[in-house]
Amino acid sequence: MNTLRADAAVAWAIARKDALAELRGRQAVGSTLFFAALVLLLFGFALGPDSRRLTEAAPGLLWLAIVFGGLLTVARLHQLEADDDALEELARYPIERRAIYAGKALAGLGAMLVLGGVLLPVVAILYGIDLAGAWPALVATLLLGAIGFAAVGTFYAGVTVRMRAREVMLPLLMLPVIAPLLLAAVKATSAALGGDPFGELGAWLQLLAGFDVVMLVAGAATYGYLLEE
Amino acid sequence: MPVRLLGIIGLVGVVAATIFGLFVVPPDGNQGDAQRIMYPHVASAWLAYGSFGVTALAGIGYLWKRDLRLDAVAVSGAEIGVMFTAFAIWGGMMWGRPVWGVFWQWEDPRLTTTALLLALYVGYLLFRRLTDDPARRAARAAVVGVVAAIDIPIVHFSVEWWRGLHQGPTIGSPDRILNPSAPLQFVIALVSMVAAFTVVWLYLMIRRYQLARIEWQIEEHGRLGRISAARRAASVAVGGSAEEGAR
Amino acid sequence: MPQTTIYAAPRSAGPQTPPPAVATVELARLFGRSAALAGVSLRVESGRTIALLGPNGAGKTTLLRILATAIRPSFGTAAVAGFDVAAAPELVRPQVAYLSHATGLYDDLTAEENLRFAATMLGRADGPDATRMALDEVGLATVARDRVRGFSAGMRRRLALGRLLLSRTPLVLLDEPHAALDAEGMRLVDRLMARWRDAGVTVLVASHQAERVTRQADGWARLDGGLLLEVGGEGVSAITATRSAPPLRAPAAVHR
């Protein structure tokens, strides 16, 4: 359909714009990555020094670090629009609301993939994980998890962008919703790293995919209401 | 006063069902007396979820009709629902302790999902508190409520899967296997408690809605009043300047 | 003429009497406790340039923002080219372009990138060309590749005007366009307003600089305290706030 292609063009333009702004935004991106890596380090202090325990807990710790870094990331992407009231300007263009959502979620996805991609080797080093052979499964898990987080995060960042106490409201609203994603992503990562002894990897990836689809549809359908004043 | 009557019926019903459940029904074959807490626990759990459904549906209704009365229903559902949720969790823990040996069992999808439901409720209510403009609050809260409601079945499903695929040792089986000694009385106790709780819930909802309605009417009156005051002030000014000669 | 391509989209043959460019009925908007607009009924004919006058807090900006679909009305209705702003904002958006107080620019992008982005959002197929023309028109061609972060307030305002030029809508709303501009910049605004007028675009301009804008306007409307006090000139008509005005109709239980 013609409008679908127009939506895609709009979404892509928005994602590109965000990516450009992010990359030029000096230290913001790097700071978030460093923070997430720091969190992983701190987990080591909290749960160590028994390496075996850390290795067992590694999938969970990895995804927790991704979640924490992700919260900062999605908040930042919406803050781009808060400067100079650009969000209002964006909302006034004759474009579909769902295209705006798609664009911002796409930018979020990119940022989350970068985050995950950086943290994976950090986890491997700090917690003694052997990644060999698990790559396809890990990439799939990371991708599906990032999509879900971006879908939910973009929505809630839109909810909280101009609120009082938004720094605490974003995680407060978002984390309960993200619980199934966290659960499934950790289980899938665990299975992938362990060689999938029980054949459960497929099931968890399916759950992630289902979550992603539902949240993307919900976000796209409701984002327009968040732009109202 | 039909609403007050509803409240009285509800209260009497709860007391009656409690007496029945505590003293008349024989203890469960498997769990003994500990099982009795199931009656109010299940009743409040069902209402906890139902209430959130009401909030979500009322929110959708608001987005469709833009009638703030629907928003009043939504907030009523959330405030009443959060109470029932807290009680359901407490009941679940009280039930769990003698049966599992622990207060919390991660693999019980009902308990963990209900805990998340509580978090979603609290988030919704806090969110409402931080937004001032009524129309804006109603629209945004509706959206937050709907997305939260969509999440609940996903959470339940995934926790169930979590349990199902997990092969490690468990402290106690999360399933509270029941073996009712007198099945008919068991059913009566459960149904009567659920019915009584539902009546209480309905009563509380109506009262809360009435309160919200009054608040809204006061607010509305104030808003219209401010507009009329502005107009009166201006018409005095226009009357004055008109005397200076029209253009 | 090339200006027509920038300033107004080509007109298609339509009905004999088009709906008024702007029509509001008892339009009111509250912010918390204060009534920014307390019931304004205004009608602006298509193709006219109308000045909105009044002191700070009179409601000029609020009126423009409602027409631009940036905020929703609390009471009453507003229609742009016959489309209701509350019921059908998606139909109103292609009809109106708005220059607001805040410029809504992305600091980390260049002037050119900001406009290219806007052109894509506006669905313009000729993005690069239109962007170049717009930058030339507002005198920012030399700084096209510079990031907006380093721009002065005047330059940002010019860039925002450039973005406005990309929209080619039948209605243009200007909120204090002369603010933050030097003499050269103000002449630019005057020039743009003249070109819009020639192209048959309806322009609503809110300004403190009453003399400057009324010189270029067909008509004017004066607001104060959220109410329309008087109108004058051509192309604008109103039900002004007098004691004999119809009472404010509270829309039962429904807000729009």
Which ipTM value was assigned to this complex? Answer: 0.90
C104, closest residue in chain A (CA to CA): A86
Q: Does C225 touch chain B (CB under 8 A)?
A: yes
Q: Hey, which residues 113-132 in chain B have their CB within 8 Å of chain A?
A: 116, 119-120, 123, 126-127, 130-131
pLDDT band at C1 (very low <50, low <70, confident <90, very high): very low
The answer, yes or no, to whether residue B41 has pLDDT greater than 80, is yes
pLDDT band at B236 (very low <50, low <70, confident <90, very high): low
Taking an 8 Å cut-off on Cβ atoms, the answer to whether C113 and A20 are in contact is yes
Of C105, B247, C120, nearest in space to A83 by CA: C105
pLDDT band at C133 (very low <50, low <70, confident <90, very high): very high
The answer, yes or no, to whether residue C251 has pLDDT greater than 70, is no
Question: How do residues A48-77 score in pLDDT, each as one tens digit?
Answer: 788 888 888 999 999 999 999 999 999 999
The answer, yes or no, to whether residue C9 has pLDDT greater than 70, is no
Question: How do residues B159-208 score in pLDDT, each as one tens digit?
Answer: 888 877 654 444 445 566 677 777 788 888 889 999 999 999 999 999 99
Taking an 8 Å cut-off on Cβ atoms, the answer to whether C225 and B235 are in contact is no
Q: What is the pLDDT of residue C175?
A: 94
Q: What is the pLDDT of residue B173?
A: 53
C113 neighbourhood in chain A, CB within 8 Å? 17, 20
pTM higher than 0.90 for the full model?
no
Of A172, A198, A207, the CB nearest to B123: A172
Distance (Å) from the alpha carbon of A29 to chain B's nearest alpha carbon: 28
Sheet holding C236-239, edge to edge: C83-84, C75-80, C22-31, C34-44, C236-239
Look over chain B and give the mean of its residue pLDDT values, rounded to a whole number. 84
Q: What percent of chain A has pLDDT over 90?
A: 66
Q: What is the pLDDT of residue A181?
A: 96
Q: Does C252 touch chain B (CB under 8 A)?
A: no
SS3 label, residue C98: strand
C102 neighbourhood in chain A, CB within 8 Å? 84-85, 88
pLDDT band at B237 (very low <50, low <70, confident <90, very high): low
Of B224, B230, B231, the CB nearest to C250: B224
The answer, yes or no, to whether residue C206 has pLDDT greater than 60, is yes
Q: What is the pLDDT of residue B128?
A: 94
Q: What is the pLDDT of residue B168?
A: 41
Taking an 8 Å cut-off on Cβ atoms, the answer to whether C106 and A90 are in contact is no
Taking an 8 Å cut-off on Cβ atoms, the answer to whether A92 and C98 are in contact is yes
Question: How do residues A156-201 score in pLDDT, each as one tens digit?
Answer: 999 998 888 888 999 999 999 999 999 999 999 999 988 888 888 9
pLDDT band at B26 (very low <50, low <70, confident <90, very high): confident
The answer, yes or no, to whether residue C86 has pLDDT greater than 50, is yes
Counting as contact any 3 or more CB pairs under 8 A, the partners of C are: A, B
Taking an 8 Å cut-off on Cβ atoms, the answer to whether C107 and A9 are in contact is no
Q: What is the pLDDT of residue B170?
A: 42
Q: What is the pLDDT of residue A27?
A: 66
Residue B218: how many other CB atoms lie within 10 Å: 10
Q: At what angle do helices A166-193 and A51-82 cross, to 10 degrees?
A: 140
Q: What is the pLDDT of residue B247?
A: 36
Of B135, B234, B247, the CB nearest to C224: B234
pLDDT band at C31 (very low <50, low <70, confident <90, very high): confident
Does residue C23 contact residue C95 with C-beta atoms inside 8 Å?
no
